[in-house]
Structure 1
Amino acid sequence: MRLKKYTDYALRVLIYTASKPEGELASIKEISKVFDISENHLSKIVHQLNKLDMLTTIRGRSGGIRLAKPPEEINVGDVVRKMEDDFILLECFDRGSDHCVITPACKLKHVLNDALQAFLQILDEYTLQDLLSNKSRLRQLMDITD
């Protein structure tokens, strides 16, 4: 299973934002600098996280972004499901594709589907808060000061 960079970056944005001191806003510019990710790409991610009610965006000169809810209410499995546009592991997972001649009898699709469900089930056991258990070290690495 491989997650898209889009999902990886979304999780980084959430971790960064959650690592900021209480009440302090994050900016796309500073997140871009810390992770060396294009501001334009991050803007799209922040926009989607805002639409999903995971981030709140504040416009204006003193604006920025912050979590829309406490980190313990943001489930990692939920984030991954909402950021990934598909979980097609093999051609036979795609309903519109029937190129493989053994699809009607093949068990591989079922085995991989079970593995995918187990992967997502493990992610469902974690929240953003769990990813912050080493918050002081994260803040140090991301150069976030009080």
Structure 2
Amino acid sequence: MQLTRYSDYALRALLYLAARNDRLCAISEIAAAYSISQNHLVKVLHDLGKAGYVASVRGRTGGYRLARPASEIRIGALLRHTEDDVDLVDCGGCALSGGCGVSPVLDEAMAAFFAVLDNYTLASVVERKHGFQHLILSLGAGAPRERIA
């Protein structure tokens, strides 16, 4: 399974906000840190706001922050929210769908995939590797930009 760009951007934005939980972050700042489209990020953050993952403050000194602690944001729940269709194959139109044994196996595999992701929170991912949070914090601070998510 490959995650969509939408999920990729959502996860990156939340990691960025988790590492900077002491202040508001502008969309332009997050987009520049990852060298990603600001227009796409606007849509992602708007949706994450409606879903209760981020909070926004309007105005000249406004920006985004996590709406709840990073320790309460489960990676599995986030990806279930951002991925429209998590079926590995489309069995609906297949002539074998009534008696095929592959579909239940793939469903079990997908359930296992999300079960593993449900074990991790945003906070645990940020803290998981030594230096990872430092790497995130270096984004947008004049340091070389690397793809980390």
The TM-score, its normalising length taken from structure 2, stands at: 0.87
Question: Could you tell me which residue of structure 2 aligns to residue 18 of structure 1?
Answer: 18
Unaligned runs of 5+ in 2: 143-149
Q: Distance in 2 between matches of 1:36 and 1:114?
A: 36
Structure-to-structure mapping, 1:44-59, within 5 angstroms: 44-59=43-58
Matching residue within 105, 112, 117 for 1:111: 105
Question: Could you tell me which residue of structure 1 aligns to residue 95 of structure 2?
Answer: 101
* Percent of residue pairs bearing the same amino acid type: 39
Q: 1:115 to 1:105 in 2, by over 3 A?
A: same
Q: Distance in 2 between matches of 1:109 and 1:53?
A: 33
After the TM superposition, which parts of structure 1 deviate over 3 Å for at least 4 consecutive aligned residues? none
SS of aligned partner of 1:57: strand
SS of aligned partner of 1:66: strand
Given that 1:57 and 1:65 are in contact with CA atoms closer than 8 Å, whether structure 2 keeps it comes out as yes
Alpha-carbon shift at residue 137 of structure 1 (Å): 2.8
Given that 2:21 and 2:66 are in contact with CA atoms closer than 8 Å, whether structure 1 keeps it comes out as no
SS of aligned partner of 2:36: coil
**RMSD, aligned CA:** 1.4
Alpha-carbon shift at residue 144 of structure 1 (Å): 4.6
Alpha-carbon shift at residue 136 of structure 1 (Å): 1.9
Given that 1:56 and 1:66 are in contact with CA atoms closer than 8 Å, whether structure 2 keeps it comes out as yes
Q: 1:15 to 1:144 in 2, by over 3 A?
A: farther
Q: Distance in 2 between matches of 1:144 and 1:119?
A: 35
SS of aligned partner of 1:56: strand
Given that 1:10 and 1:49 are in contact with CA atoms closer than 8 Å, whether structure 2 keeps it comes out as yes
Number of residue equivalences: 138
SS of aligned partner of 2:9: helix
Alpha-carbon shift at residue 19 of structure 1 (Å): 0.9
Alpha-carbon shift at residue 75 of structure 1 (Å): 0.7
Do residues 123 (structure 1) and 95 (structure 2) align?
no
Structure 1: which amino acid aligns with 2:17? Answer: T
Q: Distance in 2 between matches of 1:144 and 1:12?
A: 16
Structure 2: which amino acid aligns with 1:57? Answer: S
Structure 2: which amino acid aligns with 1:138? Answer: I
Given that 1:49 and 1:55 are in contact with CA atoms closer than 8 Å, whether structure 2 keeps it comes out as yes
Q: Distance in 1 between matches of 2:135 and 2:4?
A: 26
Structure 2: which amino acid aligns with 1:73? Answer: E
Q: 1:118 to 1:21 in 2, by over 3 A?
A: closer
